[in-house]
Every structure is written in structure tokens, then in C-alpha cells.
Amino acid sequence: MSAAGTKAPSPAPVDQAPEHTGSRGATLVQRLVVVRELGIFAALLLLVLVTVIANPRFLSGQNMRDLLLSASILTVLAAGQTIVIVTRNVDLSVGSVLGLSAYASGTLLANAPGTPVIVVILAGMVVGALCGVLNGAIVAIAKVPSLVVTLGTLYAFRGLDSLWASSSDRLQINAADLPASFKSLGGARLLGIPVLFLIAAAVVLLVGFYLRNYRSGRELYGIGSDPAAARLSGIPVGRRVLVAFAVNGALAGLAGVLYAARFQTLDATAGTGLELNVVAAAVVGGVAIFGGSGSVYGAALGALLLTTIGTSLPQLGLNPFWRDAAVGALILAAIVLDRTLSLRLARRLRGRNLRGS
């Protein structure tokens, strides 16, 4: 064939290299997330092993059920917090939202004992969702940092709960005020596993499926990685952040109903201080506080690890004070590890780009 008839090779698409770079980066991030989750799981197993050596009865059936029950509420809250944190935000009001929803659920049952449990659950989730919408609207529309917004609503929701309790006939709702059908939920078991923990596991699976398989869920990671770039690519950042806060609030409302079923004694102080444990569970579980990476499964493992620490310390004969110290150390270690891994990932991607150019 003559030179004139030879067809010149077509140039490679301009966006080919960035696409491969993005896929390599996503693969590396996924591997780092898996490594973090395996590390948390290994730490959990090691803690259980040490506790069993100190007290062989730690793995008794009743102890395990109590452990799972204690972890269930924190797990639901950590799942919702994960949705917010991956967008580079945080919600410090979840403890107050839980308390408000728990008191609302208890009041509904005390005034209308025949209310079906599913209606009570939905009512608690609606109360939580409304609180989440308020948080999300101020963050997304008014562009106020979420840390400032939710710190304010933490006290606002707690004050609303206190005002409600003080203006009603019941400053405290006791187990005697709740119907037996609802109280049985707190101790119900299915195949030996507490029903509350099964609900928490279902929440984790649903949130994980949404974040991984739905475009809107994956876009939350894009927002957390680079909000400006996400906005330029056509992602409705404000709407997604608003929905993330609303879903987180609804799950905090669900946790409030579970709290009411678990403890059956409700007042305006329910859930006080819980927000720090929720953020700690997510961060320790590998959800980057800077946004853009992490998984709800890691957050659930973090919740289980923190609960196990609180349960193990008395078994090991240690002062409960060390639980707070251990949680603080884990948070600092997780943040340092996230930063170190992020810098290492950036260097690896730059090195591959230079070799490929």
C-alpha cells in the first residue's frame, strides 16, 4: 500500500490518562479502606482475646447479648454519621436528636398505649428527620460550617426537650408508663441474637448498599473529596448535603426509639454526651474526618470496638477513666493515620503519572 493510502493512527483520547489515573486512585483508596477495616477487626479480636484470658466468662451468652445490645444504638448513629462525614461535614447534635426522639416516642406511647410499634418507629424517625433537615438547610443554604451549626442545635434540641418535659405532666417517663408490647422489643431475641442489634445490622447493610450502588450515594464521596470540583461536574452539592443530614437525623430518630425500648426510662438528659462517641466510632472505623473516604462497615466495627472497650475495662480490673483516654488516643491515631495514608496515596499517584508520561 502506498504511503498516501496509509491511514495515520488516530490519537489517543485526551481524557484517557486522567481516567486511568482516577481509576487507579479509586482502587488504591478502596484497598486502604479495606486495610483499615481489617486492622479494626484485628484490634477487636485482640481485645476480646486479652479479656477472655483475664476472665473466661466474658464470652458467656449473656455477656455477648449485653455487648450487642449496647453496641446497637451506637452502630445506628455511626451509620448515619458516616453519610454526613463523607461529605466533609459533621453532626454534633445527634445525641440531642436521639434524646428528643426518645422522649417523643415515650410520650406517644404513654398517651396512646395501643399505638403499633412500627408507627412509633416512624414517628421517632420523622422527628429526627426534621431536626436533620434544619441542620442541613443551614449548612447547605446559608453556607455555615456544620461544626458551628450542629454545635448550636445540640443545645437548641436539648433545650427543646427540656422545655417539653418541664411543661408536661411527666418530667420522666418510666417503664410503667410504656406498654408491654413496646418494652418487649428491648429484650427480644431472634435465634439468640438481640432484635435491636439485628435492626442495627440491617441499617448498616442498607446504608452500605446505598453508598456503593447508587449514583447519589457515590456522589457524596465526590463532594467530600472536592466540593468545588463536584459542583463544577454538575453534582447538586447543596441538595445532596441536605439529604445527608436529613437521613442522618432520621437514623438518630430511629436510635432514639431503640434507646426508649432498651432503657425504658426517659427524661430530658437521654443521649447526653453520646455525640462524641458517635464521631469517634466513625473516625476510628476509618471514615476520614476530612471527607471523601471510608465505609459504613468500618464505622460499625468502630462502634463495636468502642463498646467492647467499655465492657472489657472492668473485666480487666482497670478504672473506667481509661476508656475515655483510650477513645481519645484512638481518635488521634486514626486522624494521623488518615493523613499519612492520604499523603502516601498522593505520592504514589504522582509517581505513577510520571512513569506513565
- DSSP three-state, residue 194: strand
Considering the chain, what is the average pLDDT of its residues?
83
Flag whether pLDDT at 335 surpasses 90: no
Flag whether pLDDT at 5 surpasses 60: no
> Which one has a higher pLDDT value, 122 or 114?
122
Q: Which whole number is the average pLDDT over 322-347? A: 69
Q: Which of 35-39, 132-136, 219-223, 323-327 has the highest mean pLDDT?
A: 132-136
Q: Which residues in the chain belong to E strands, given as ranges?
A: 189-190, 193-194
- Region of poorest pLDDT, from 122-126, 272-276, 309-313: 309-313
Q: Which whole number is the average pLDDT over 240-269? A: 93
Q: Quickly state the pLDDT bin for 56 (edges 50, 70, 90).
A: confident
| Residue bearing cell 463532594 | 223
Residue type at 339 in one-letter notation? R
- DSSP three-state, residue 317: coil
Flag whether pLDDT at 324 surpasses 80: no
Q: CA 303 → CA 1, 64, 82, 348, distances in Å? A: 70, 15, 12, 31
- Region of poorest pLDDT, from 7-11, 46-50, 207-211, 298-302: 7-11
> Which one has a higher pLDDT value, 81 or 166?
81
The dihedral sign for the CA sequence 216, 220, 221, 227: positive
Instruction: Please provide residue 190's backbone torsions phi and psi, each rounded to the nearest 5 degrees.
Output: -130, 115
Q: Which whole number is the average pLDDT over 213-224? A: 91
Of 242, 2, 44, 230, which is closest to residue 136 (Cα–Cα)? 242
Residue 159 has what pLDDT? 92
Of 75, 85, 317, which is closest to residue 205 (Cα–Cα)? 75
For residue 52 the three cell numbers come to 477472655
Scored b (16 or more CB within 10 A) or e, 83-119 reads bbbbbbbbbbbbbbbbbbbbbbbbbbbbeeeebebee
Q: CA 12 → CA 8, 336, 349, 350, distances in Å? A: 12, 40, 21, 21
Q: Which whole number is the average pLDDT over 10-27? A: 44
Residue 7 has what pLDDT? 43
Residue 354 has what pLDDT? 56
pLDDT digits (tens, 9 = 90+) for 170-191: 678 888 888 888 888 888 888 8
Flag whether pLDDT at 287 surpasses 80: yes
Flag whether pLDDT at 3 surpasses 50: no
> Which one has a higher pLDDT value, 158 or 333?
158
- DSSP three-state, residue 193: strand
Q: Quickly state the pLDDT bin for 192 (edges 50, 70, 90).
A: confident
- Region of poorest pLDDT, from 207-216, 229-238, 287-296: 287-296
pLDDT digits (tens, 9 = 90+) for 339-356: 666 666 556 656 655 555
The answer for 317, left when phi > 0, alpha when psi is -120 to 50, beta otherwise, is left
Flag whether pLDDT at 128 surpasses 80: yes
What DSSP assignment string belongs to 210-260?
Answer: HHHHSHHHHHHHHHHH-HHHHHHTT--HHHHHHHHHHHHHHHHHHHHHHHH
Give yes or no for a contact between 74 and 277, defined as CB atoms under 8 angstroms apart: yes
Q: Quickly state the pLDDT bin for 13 (edges 50, 70, 90).
A: very low
- Region of poorest pLDDT, from 170-184, 244-258, 293-307: 170-184
Residue 152 has what pLDDT? 95
